[in-house]
Structure 1
Amino acid sequence: MGMSKDNVTGLLLALSSSVFIGSSFIIKKMGLKKAGTTGKSAATGGHAYLYEPWWWFGMISMIVGEIANFAAYAFAPAILVTPLGALSIIFSAVLAHFILKERLHIFGVLGCVLCMVGSTTIVLNAPHERIIHSVKEVWQLATEPGFIVYTLAVVIMVSVLIIYCVPRYGQRHLVVYVGICSLTGSLTVMGVKAVGIAMKLTFEGTNQFTYFQTWFFTLAVIGCCLLQINYLNKALDTFNTAVVSPVYYVMFTSFTIFASMIMFKDWATQNKSQIATEFCGFVTILSGTFLLHKTKDMGDKPTENSSLDRATIINNTDT
């Protein structure tokens, strides 16, 4: 069966989103590296990158990608659009290899593959999204006990990461910075969905911006986005881009699906087979993430060993 016109449009938007988002990681990393040579780096709390054009080009690329991704959901189902986000990892890794000279060890490549397979498994077996007709309906779902508990848990975990873990482990463990971005991002997506519904209904003739709920969600999205941008910059300025991109994608996707299941009660429509398959997907993601962390520095070792071998050969020749 051929794809409908709307599905083709959604597919093209999702593909373009992956290209823009994948490129943004590389462009922003270039800007951060240049800014680090002229001022205090983002990893140490500096904001010199705000004066660097390359960083702004990267931000614009990411914004365009996110807008394209958001628009894709208006044409195609989530089961088609969401898995394509993994393509940004591949595109980013390829650009990092050729432009930034950042190479992954073979096990790191395997880790990326496991992450993408696990994420795709979860998304393909996730239930269909609940149809929302008004911002007030989203507000009602967001203020139910289950999602309030999740939101409080996210706020507490993010606070602990920022206050306790960042000063002690931020420079050594990628999951600290990426964890902050991913946990916050799960709330951002819920807010974006509410704002998107408000804009859609407003364009259709029913003004949703007269309700305080719309403005609350808008302010929440802006605040969460600023927090994500800050710590994503720190992650990119500290760790290998080819590792940041897949780990961020995996954690962000996992937390977002979990938040959506709580808020929209998607779990109620799933059978045991789907739940078991999703669990397998999570195990695959964890395996891939572990492999990425354990091998993130192995790509540079052959070069170091080769240098040592050449030095040994030269010394033996001299003697």
Structure 2
Amino acid sequence: MGGAGGRPDFYVGLGLALASSAFIGGSFILKKKGLLRLARRGRVRAGQGGHAYLREWLWWAGLLCMGVGEAANFAAYAFAPATLVTPLGALSVLVSAVLSSTFLNEQLNVHGKIGCILSILGSTVMVIHAPQEEEVSSLESMAEKLKDPGFIVFAVCVLVSSLLLIFVAGPRYGRSNVLVYVLVCSAIGSLSVSCVKGLGIALKELFAGKPVLKEPLGWVLLVCLVICISVQINYLNKALDIFNTSVVTPVYYVLFTTAVMTCSAILFKEWQHMVLDNIIGTISGFLTIVCGIFLLHAFRDMPFPPDLLPLFLQQSRADLHASWRSVDRHQSCQHRPLLPSEDKGSQSAEEEEEEEG
């Protein structure tokens, strides 16, 4: 936790990261409430290609909350290490799940909650074991990294896969599979984070008095960022309009985190010096994420609410106690010594049976 700021900078970064999670988690609820109000009014829904949400103040409030949260998250990286800030983004999933059950009356079964926990744990393990990003101090060095063949191939793959998801998979599976639109948001979001990092470097140089405004790279990154954010907002709204917030939020968090880490690893060459334990940790975290997504997506419609679990346990416990009592009575009858009165009673019963015979 080195640096000139020391511990005060650490606590500032921690506070910004926590505030970011709260704002981002709440933004999903506000945007979903706005979309539901539009649906009740009979407007064309976002999932059907409508854009009436642009005239809904609740949706704009959610967008403002998301903007504040993203800004706080971006600022947190300047004060606290990435291994602290990035895992705390998982708190936005918990905030959204709690608020959705309170204000949206959405249900998430036991399998979904286990999937959320596994996804958060897997993402956290993956981030902890991921290497630190390489320091980029100028737009010139950023430009050199953007020209790297590996990053160019990655960017082309992201664009081609996003176009296929939008124009091929979207019309067929967009309303039945939550991964279609969320994958578009996550893939494009990985490029937007790279643009944000480049613009952050440009702002640092601008504050240092360098003629950054004359550099074309800064303007290119700004235009790309606006395009990426517009695509993210559009398809995230479609996913929120079609599926439950408790499902969209964790899936989006997991896929977005994975895409961003992959993009950063390719852009900054972070994987070249990884030790074996970090490689194993990263792979284990990714497999845990896959298991969490499977539980969330495969069993999301299974009618098994958490309220049934205590009743099931109570019934099992009652049956177990009843069986124990019957066994105890059987054993006590077998091993209990005979009293004199019981001996006489048994003898008289035997004599009566002989007389009747």
**Number of residues of Structure 1 aligned to a counterpart in Structure 2:** 303
- In the other structure, the counterpart of 2:11 is 8
| 1:160-175 correspondence to structure 2 within 5 Å | 160-175=164-179
2-structure distance, mates of 1:223, 1:111: 32
- In the other structure, the counterpart of 2:272 is 268
Tell which deviates more after alignment, 49-58 or 132-141.
132-141
1-structure distance, mates of 2:111, 2:13: 33
For 2:70, which of 54, 62, 66 is the aligned residue? 66
Q: Which runs of 5+ in 1 are unaligned?
A: 304-319
- In the other structure, the counterpart of 1:135 is 139
2:255 maps to 1:251:
yes
Q: What is the aligned-residue identity percentage? A: 48
2-structure distance, mates of 1:302, 1:17: 29
Whether the 8 Å CA contact 1:161–1:180 is kept in 2: the answer is yes
Structure 2: which amino acid aligns with 1:13? Answer: L
2-structure distance, mates of 1:188, 1:232: 15
Tell which deviates more after alignment, 197-206 or 219-228.
197-206
Distance 1:75 1:162, change over 3 A: same
Please tell me the root mean square deviation across aligned C-alpha atoms, in Å: 1.6
Tell which deviates more after alignment, 128-137 or 218-227.
128-137
Structure 2: which amino acid aligns with 1:83? Answer: P
For 1:34, which of 26, 34, 37 is the aligned residue? 37
Whether the 8 Å CA contact 2:16–2:72 is kept in 1: the answer is yes
| 1:102-141 correspondence to structure 2 within 5 Å | 102-141=106-145
Whether the 8 Å CA contact 1:189–1:256 is kept in 2: the answer is yes
Whether the 8 Å CA contact 1:36–1:42 is kept in 2: the answer is no
Tell which deviates more after alignment, 275-284 or 126-135.
126-135
Tell which deviates more after alignment, 99-108 or 292-301.
292-301
Q: Give 1:209 deviation, angstroms.
A: 2.1
Whether the 8 Å CA contact 2:146–2:267 is kept in 1: the answer is yes
Per-residue deviation, residues 40-72 of structure 1 (Å, max 9, x unmatched): 000000011111110000000000000000000
Structure 2: which amino acid aligns with 1:117? Answer: L
Q: Give 1:299 deviation, angstroms.
A: 5.3
2-structure distance, mates of 1:40, 1:300: 33
2:11 maps to 1:18:
no
Over 4 Å off, 4+ runs:
299-303
Whether the 8 Å CA contact 1:36–1:48 is kept in 2: the answer is no
Tell which deviates more after alignment, 136-145 or 244-253.
136-145
For 1:101, which of 89, 105, 118 is the aligned residue? 105
For 1:209, which of 203, 213, 219 is the aligned residue? 213
